Amino acid sequence: MSPVLELTAAAAERAAVDLEDATAEEIVAWAVQTFGARVCVTASMTDSVVIDLVSRAAPGVDVLFLDTGYHFAETLGTRDAVAATYPVNLLSITPVRTVAEQDAMHGPRLYERDPDLCCALRKVEPLERALRDYDAWFTGLRRDESPSRATTPVVAWDEARGKVKVNPIAGWTQDDVESYVATHGVLINPLLQDGYASVGCAPCTRRVAPGEGTRDGRWSGLTKVECGIHT
């Protein structure tokens, strides 16, 4: 039995050291062999790089998409295209309350007044609920995306959820992503060709200007840099 199946921080840290210099394909293969059907992919539908990588090693893998009720039409279209194109089982995960129900309880435009609470209700809680059926999950986190992600390991222990988080492209650059997309014909969100660099909920995402970072278009004007899923 793999030591990571102990589901402990120490085991995840050992795996991170062992796999630091491995390729993304090797990291994916390790996770698939280790966790089998107990691993899933989480996807924001900015691009399908991790979906492509994992589905090649594990056809039929579950892909979790957080349908917050605030997505761009292009993002939902990318989700539907992924479901139709890749050999995956795409699951749209929804919050407990609809946007209208949330507005009735907390008032409209909660994302403006308390974005942390909005993210907690529409992203963090739904993901935690969905991850109960898994021991590990793949993400598309990269170190070059922002200072808050600069030390992202390729394998991490998610203390809050008691899961192993696998970040196979943590060491990739934006050039690496674009090269993989071009080589493999990976589906991307059309908004990436319209000035957006990282795509989240429509009210909280804007285009980036030349010279800005990948995630500078998220929660613009606020000190907020993460939705809470990865913190």
For the annotated catalytic residues, the residue numbers are 227
Identity of residue 80: D
Sheet holding 136-138, edge to edge: 88-93, 61-66, 39-42, 136-138, 163-166, 155-158
Nearest C-alpha neighbor of 42 from the set 121, 116, 136: 136
Angle between the 9-19 and 24-35 helix axes, to the nearest 10 degrees?
A: 150
What single DSSP character describes residue 87? S
DSSP 9-40: HHHHHHHHHHHTTS-HHHHHHHHHHHHGGGEE
Pull the structure tokens for residue 110: 């909660």
